[in-house]
Amino acid sequence: MKIKEIFESQPQFPPILRGAREIADYCHTWAIDDMSDDMMLEYFRDCNAVLKLVPINTLQEGPPDSNISKPSKEAKYIKMNPKTMPPIIVSNSVVIDGHHRFRVAKKLGLKEIWIYDVQY
C-alpha cells in the first residue's frame, strides 16, 4: 500500500503528533481513565509520534501494571469499526497507550493496526 493510500484510509488522524503536548492531548482524548498530564509531558519530552500501519504481530503489550484489562473497556472498542479505531501509542514496539484497542484488534484477528510510533 502506498503512503498516500494509507493516509487516505485513516483521514481523521494527523500523520504526525508534534511534541509532548500533542501526544499527551491525543492520549487524553482517547483514554477512559485519568492520566497524569505532567507524567506524560515528561515521558514524551522532545518526542514526535508518526502514524504508521504495522503488522500486529510485531507489537507487544506494556508491563502489566500499565495495562490492567477491563472487560467494559474492551466491549466499547469491539463495537468500533476497526478501520476507524484510534491508533495506539507505541515506543520500540511496546504499547504505551491503547492496550484495550490492541487486545481487541488481536481478538478480531486483524493482521495490521494503526499506531503512533514515538520517535525519541
Mean pLDDT score, 66-84: 82
Predicted confidence (pLDDT) at residue 1 exceeds the cutoff of 70:
no
Instruction: Tell me the pTM.
Output: 0.86
- Grid coordinates belonging to 3: 503512503
pLDDT at 92: 96
* pLDDT value for 26: 95
CB 55 within 8 A of CB 81: no
Residues 69 and 94: beta-carbon distance below 8 Å: no
- Provide the CATH topology of domain 3-119: 3.90.1530
Residue 66 has pLDDT above 80, yes or no: no
